[in-house]
Amino acid sequence: MVPTGPYGTWPSPIDAALAASHDGRPDGLGTVGDEVWWTAPRPAEGGRRALMRRRADGTEESVLPAPWNVRSRVIEYGGMPWAGAQRAPDGGGPLIVFVHFPDQRLYAYEPDVPGSEPRPLTPLSPVGGGLRWVDPQLRVGQGEVWCVLEEFTGEAPTDVRRVIAAVPLDGAAAEDRGAVRELSDDRHRFVTGPRLSPDGRLAAWIAWDHPQMPWDGTVVMIGEVTDGGPFGAVRPVAGGTDESVAQAEWAPDGSLLFVSDRTDWWEVQRIRLDASVPDSGPGTSLCPGRAEEFGGPLWQIGRQWFRPLDNGLIAVIHGTGTTTLGILDPESGELVDAAGPWSEWAPTLVVHGDRVFGVAASPRSAYEIVELDTSTGRARVIGCAHDDPVDPAYYPEPQIRTFTGPDNREIHAQVYPPHNPDRIAPDDELPPFVVWAHGGPTSRVPLVLDLEIAYFTSRGIGVAEVNYGGSTGYGRQYRNRLREQWGVVDVEDCAAVAESLAAEGTADPARLAIRGGSAGGWTAAASLAATDVYACGTVIYPILDLLGWATGETHDFESRYLESLVGPLPPKAPQGRDPQVPARYRERSPLNNAERITAPFLLLQGLDDVICPPVQCERFLAEMAGRGIAHAYIAFEGEGHGFRLADTMVRALEAELSLYAQTFGITRPDVPPLELKQ
């Protein structure tokens, strides 16, 4: 007989410390010789990213000890932070170039040379945010590394330029900015790292400008490689202001491959370039008509959704909502998927010979490194293998759902009902549910094992993750639902899912909560102000004041994001645009609607956050003061945008559970009580 217990009171072996220790995923996958390398999160080591290698015998080891932290701050979200190659064909050992997070300098390191230490390749700059680097491409034979340089020219976050640059490997630029050779001009605000054609004559990269975000419009640029000078004959060959190209790579035959959404879905395209023709056309789709994504939003520089193999085939990540790894024959259009349990593949692919390596997860396993042998079709885990920290019987069972929202629009969501093998609830009780709004907002939630979700579901609290209108994974039209509708469509879609769960008897209508971080924090706060659906909410490093965020309170990358999400403000608004846009900024902001918030809330913020700065929380709390609404504010020193320290994550998760327990009338003596102020 399984004991009966009220929802929310169930005991669980999944505590906050366990959830925190499994936060994050391996990333930045690459090969060095025959070895696979990657970066891995270390919440218990100050939140650093460790550089890992898998040796030929299958052992995994950290390449650099703490406090080395392999992570870039370019566009604040970073991207590929390292590159590696064999020093010499005769087995001279690996040469690694990486970005160290605290000072953002490039370093070179030869890990197999006894006594070797990382040595700086680039200088520091006292101006603004300094010099930053990302997406390195090693050219050992030429004695240099190509990468994106982000250079601050003043103190403001928008005083910045970005170019492709060559850094000498001999350390000549370690104290001399003048030794850095610029390969591109700064005609574009944003660029990715260059990709060199098989014959070494051409380089290709992606570029875009304000006010476009990379999922709105980008262009593929190519330039001729010159001897010791900048790229020559630079010209665009694909993309535009209304077409998003997320990745570009050269095929072995010299054609240019890229993923573009000009057909509504990100599809793999090919151009056969003729250097005498300025524009070679829009490209040919290699797998048309599938109505699924072969790319995604370029939140980080150097993301990889596809990689060409030496034999002409192409490894691709594709899907609708969920993703899988497949091998595409560009001549026939035939696509064969890898077998396996994985439902999500991170955009960090690498190929070596006839093998493909990726990072994948499933609803029953965390992210692990997978090898696909294309000669046999066999896929196997080779690194970061998932090891159940508790009995998997405590994991939730996700339900992929499609709900109906206003105007009969579809809303995609993943629902995780409460689940615990040791308890059942009384027959006459409905469970509390928390609606999770993802960040971005141009992003989505993956269908993977998340111990933070299991932390709640194993205690008897359901979770519903909503891919509201504007989310990726469902085509450009679905993304465009949020254009100038942020704070409306996202709020409505989350509420529609919550109300549907209550109406069908899945959730208790009196015990619904909303939770989100970053853009999801905005949606959570805006939902508390705009609806009475939720009994409480958890708001994590949020945007709360649109006007403040649009006029200098965030970083350069997203400084004009709101022009598409809300509307362009004067004087940047095109002639004839809606004159009511400025009012929209005020009317939708939780800061200006504090009097409408009547539900208790928890506000969590990193004090080092430059994307959603703590000043927004401080102004919001000043507006809430004296209104008699129970709330708590916890600010974390040493945390930026996205919590990385184990202690922070533990405290945040336990505080969130305490909020729900107090609001929903649940007794949980095993969780430190959260002090709620009026």
16 occurs within a structural domain = no
Structurally, the chain folds into a number of domains equal to 1
411 occurs within a structural domain = yes
Res 96 pLDDT > 80: yes
641 occurs within a structural domain = yes
Nearest-angstrom CA–CA distance, 105 and 494: 42
Half-sphere exposure of 392 (CA within 13 A, CB side): 10
Amino acid at 42: R
644 occurs within a structural domain = yes
Amino acid at 61: E
575 occurs within a structural domain = yes
Cα–chain-centroid distance for residue 181? 30
Ordered DSSP codes for 586-645:
HHH-GGGGGGG--S-EEEEEETT-SSS-HHHHHHHHHHHTTS---EEEEEETT--SS---
Nearest-angstrom CA–CA distance, 481 and 651: 36
Q: Pick the closest to residue 506 from 437, 423, 431 (CA basis).
A: 431
pLDDT the model gives residue 269:
96
Nearest-angstrom CA–CA distance, 400 and 119: 49
pLDDT the model gives residue 56:
87
Which two tokens mark 272?
Answer: 């056969």
249 occurs within a structural domain = no
Q: Which CATH number covers residue 458?
A: 3.40.50.1820
Nearest-angstrom CA–CA distance, 337 and 315: 10
Average pLDDT, the chain: 95
Q: Pick the closest to residue 271 from 245, 241, 294 (CA basis).
A: 245
375 occurs within a structural domain = no
Residue 208 — left, alpha, or beta (φ > 0 → left; ψ -120 to 50 → alpha)? beta
CB-count exposure of residue 332 (10 Å: 0-12, 13-18, 19+): exposed
Nearest-angstrom CA–CA distance, 68 and 85: 20
Q: Cα–Cα distances in Å, from 254 out to 198, 224, 265, 280?
A: 6, 14, 25, 14
Nearest-angstrom CA–CA distance, 79 and 148: 10
CB atoms < 10 A from the CB of 264, how many? 14
Q: What is the pLDDT of residues 200-236, one digit of tens each?
A: 999 999 999 999 999 999 999 999 999 988 999 999 9
First to last CA, the chain: 44
Res 359 pLDDT > 50: yes
Range 638-660 average pLDDT = 97
Q: What is the pLDDT of residues 571-610, one digit of tens each?
A: 776 666 667 899 999 999 999 999 999 999 999 999 999 9
Q: Is 0.85 surpassed by the pTM of this model?
A: yes
Q: What is the pLDDT of residues 79-91, one digit of tens each?
A: 999 999 998 655 6
Is the Cβ–Cβ distance between 656 and 538 less than 8 Å? yes
* 341 pLDDT tier (thresholds 50, 70, 90): very high
518 occurs within a structural domain = yes
* 256 pLDDT tier (thresholds 50, 70, 90): very high
Q: What is the pLDDT of residues 612-622, one digit of tens each?
A: 999 999 999 99
Is the Cβ–Cβ distance between 86 and 139 less than 8 Å? no
Nearest-angstrom CA–CA distance, 187 and 169: 27
Provide the percentage of residues in the chain whose pLDDT is more than 90. 94
Backbone angles phi, psi at 488, to 5 degrees: -120, -65
* 281 pLDDT tier (thresholds 50, 70, 90): low
Range of the domain at 576: 392-664
Helix (H, G, I), strand (E, B) or coil at 492: helix
Res 274 pLDDT > 70: no
Half-sphere exposure of 582 (CA within 13 A, CB side): 7
